Amino acid sequence: KNEVEQSPQNLTAQEGEFITINCSYSVGISALHWLQQHPGGGIVSLFMLSSGKKKHGRLIATINIQEKHSSLHITASHPRDSAVYICAVSASGTYKYIFGTGTRLKVLA
Amino acid sequence: DSGVTQTPKHLITATGQRVTLRCSPRSGDLSVYWYQQSLDQGLQFLIQYYNGEERAKGNILERFSAQQFPDLHSELNLSSLELGDSALYFCASSSGQSREQYFGPGTRLTVT
C-alpha cells in the first residue's frame, strides 16, 4: 500500500461542475502540497497546507490532520483546469517528500 | 515563470555515459530539491539541499549524486546511465523546509 493514496485516478467532468480530488496518507507529516501538472509537463504548486483550509480563486484545499486526509476542490470547472493533480507530503522528521500517483482530470466544454 | 531555471531542456545520450543537470533556484531560496518523473514510477523525490548542505535523501541511486554550490545553484550528476534512467528531472526551490516549492521546467533525459 502506498503511503500517499489519491482518488480518483481519472476524472472526466463537464464544464461548470464541482470537482473533488482526495488524498489520504499514512505517515506523519509536516506539510501537504497540491501540485498541478499540465500536459506540457510543467509543474505548479497550488497549495501548501499544514492545517485547515486554503482558497485561491476557484480552488479550495482542506486538510484533516487527525484523519490524515486532504481534499482539493475545484468550483465552476473549466476546460483549462484539465491537468494532472498530484498530492505530496513532507514526512515529518525525515524531510522526505512522498508523492501520490496523481489524478488525471479532463474537463469537457 | 517560476524563477527556477534548469539546463539543458533536453538531453539525449547513450547507455553507460555520464551527464550533469543544472538548476538555478529562485533568487533568495536556500533549498533545492531534485525529483525524477518516469512514465512507470510517477514523481519520485531524489534529494534536497539547504544552503549547501544535504538535508534529505530519497530514492536516489548510488550512480547519481548532487551538490549545491556556494552561489546556491545545484547540479545533479547521473553516471553509468541505463535505459531506465530516461525520465523528466525536475528541480524545485523554496525559502526553507515545509515552504511552498517552485518548480523548474524540467530536463528531459533520453538514454538510448
Query: A70-97, pLDDT tens digit by residue?
Result: 999 999 999 999 999 999 999 888 778 8
Interface of B with A (CB under 8 A): 2, 33, 35, 42-45, 48, 55-58, 88, 90, 92, 97-103, 105-106, 108
**Average pLDDT, integer, range B34-46:** 90
Please write the tens of the pLDDT for every residue from A46-67: 999 999 999 999 999 999 999 9
Given this model, what pLDDT does residue A93 score?
82
Within 8 A by CB and 6+ apart from B61, the residues are none
Reply yes or no on whether the pLDDT at B74 is more than 90.
Answer: yes
Whether A84 and chain B come into contact, CB under 8 Å, resolves to: no
| Cα gap A35→A17, rounded to integer Å | 20
Which residues of chain A does B55 touch, with a Cβ-Cβ cutoff of 8 Å?
A: 95
Please write the tens of the pLDDT for every residue from A2-58: 899 999 999 999 999 999 999 999 999 999 999 999 988 899 999 999 999 999 999
Contact A96 B56 (CB under 8 A): yes
| Cα gap A80→B74, rounded to integer Å | 33
Reply yes or no on whether the pLDDT at B46 is more than 70.
Answer: yes
Which residues of chain A does B2 touch, with a Cβ-Cβ cutoff of 8 Å?
A: 44
User: Taking all residues of chain A, what is their mean pLDDT, rounded to a whole number?
Assistant: 94
Reply yes or no on whether the pLDDT at B98 is more than 80.
Answer: no
